[in-house]
Structures are given as C-alpha cells and as structure tokens.
Amino acid sequence: MPQKWAIRLAIQGDLRFLSHHDTMRTIERIAARTELPLHYSQGFNPRPVISLTMPRPVGVAACGDLLVLGLDEPIEADLLLRRLNDEAPRGMRFERATPLSGRKGPTIARAEYELDLPESQIPPVQERLTQLRACTDWPTERMIPSKRNRRTAETYKRIDLRPLVGRIDLEGRTLRFTLVGISGLWARPAELLGLLGLDRQGDLARTVRTHLQCNCAQELN
C-alpha cells in the first residue's frame, strides 16, 4: 500500500514565473534525482504520483503551497525533506512533510494572499476598498478560452467575486485577502487586484500566496 505525503512547499524569486505545468515537471525531476521510492501510476506511460492541490498563478510567490507525493516504502519525514531540498533549485524549498491517512488527498478550502503596496497606492486602494464594501456584488468578466483553439478567447463569463472573497483588508501598507472556493469556482487574484484599480500583471508579480487551508481532518494547516 503506497504512502501519501502532504508536503508544504515555498516558491520564491524567479521560480514564481514558472507555469503550473513547468512547476510540476521541475518537482518530478527533483523527486527522480533523490532516488526516493516513488509510487508510479499504472498504464502504458507510468508517471510518479505527484500533485499540487491548487495551481499557483504565474508570477505569484508561495510560502505554504501543498504538494502530495506517493511513496512505495516508508521513510522518515526529516529524511524525505532533506533529500528533496538537496536537489531543489534556488527559490524552491520543501518545508514540512506530513503522512496522509486514507485514499483521498487534501482539498483546499481557503487561499490567503498578501501584497505590500507603495505609499502612493494606499489612498486610492483604500478608497476603492470602501466603495467595494458598499456594493452587493463585485462583477468581473472572465475570458473563456475556445475549445478549438486555446490561444484565442471567444466568449466572456460574468462572475461575482464577492462571495468568493472571504476577507480583504488593508493593514498599514499590506493588502491581505483570502479567497474561498464555492462549488469548484475560485476568484483569481488578478481579478480582485483589477477591481481595486491595481495592475493585474505588475502588482500580481509582487503578490505572495502565504497559506493554503485544507478541507481535511488531519492537521495540515
């Protein structure tokens, strides 16, 4: 019976610009170089059982992302982390490992973010935040990629971000917000920044995802 591990992962520096696909490829290569007893999927093209519970937006750094890794043999948590970190590139660090019980992996309930603002941005952001709190909904338009050609977008979907935001506060120079999922739907950090009048690309690249909170009985949070 394979053992699954929940591993907290930090991604900083230039690595924050890796796509989800490239991040997964990097982690797979790290795991392969460690010579850990990885558990592989079945079929004609077996792959190591590795997953990130919530894709990270490109450009956003992470302090507490959650990786699930399957192993065929038992191992001590400290040794597992040491082997992974010995092979990890600069900007990626495996911080804490917890063995999982049961077949199902953890799912994410809340995602917490922080953004430090320059002094010049604080008054307009505070004003816009006050305006948003007085509104009953926070509509935004999301592009829906074409199924035939993913490089183009044929339609837009209107989404109300308000029920998808659990908390948003400006504390000194730091904007802190928490996103929650409802029936698989999540607000995108760039969409919320846009509602606040911030740059969806430049300010997004200074945003940090500080924590992912799980929907699980185990103490992974």
Structure tokens at 42: 């079945």
For the full predicted model, state whether its pTM sits above 0.85: yes
Question: What pLDDT, on a 0 to 100 scale, did the predictor assign at position 146?
Answer: 64
SS (H, E, C) 56-103: CCCCCEEEEEEEEEEECCCCCHHHHHHHHHHHCCCCEEEEEEEECCCC
Helix (H, G, I), strand (E, B) or coil at 121: helix
pLDDT of residue 106: 85
The predicted structure's pLDDT at residue 149: 62
pLDDT at 47: 84
Domains of the chain, by residue range, sit at: 3-99, 108-214
pLDDT of residue 152: 58
Six token digits for residue 166: 């659990």
129 contacts: CB under 8 Å, gap ≥ 6: 168, 170, 196
Q: In the prediction, which pLDDT does 218 show?
A: 56
- Beta-sheet pairing, 92-99 with 3-11: antiparallel
**Residue 54 · residue 108 · CB < 8 Å:** yes
Query: Which residues in the chain show pLDDT less than 50?
Result: none
CATH fold of 3-99 reads: Alpha-Beta Plaits (3.30.70)
Task: Say if residues 110 and 168 touch (Cβ distance below 8 Å).
Answer: no
